[in-house]
Amino acid sequence: MSNLDYAKDHLHNIAMKEFAAGDKFIALVQDFGGVTLDQANGIFEFMRRHKMIKYDGGIGKYSVKHGQYLDREFLEHLAIHGAF
Domain tally, the chain: 1
Enter the pTM of the model.
0.85
What is residue 56's three-state secondary structure?
strand
What pLDDT does residue 20 have?
95
Domain range enclosing 32: 3-80
Tell me the average confidence (pLDDT) per consecutive run of 10 residues in the chain, 84 residues long.
67 88 97 96 95 94 95 94 69
pLDDT at residue 11, as a whole number: 83
Strand, coil or helix: 35: coil
Which helix (H) or strand (E) segment holds residue 69: the answer is none
5 phi, psi to nearest 5 deg: -65, -40
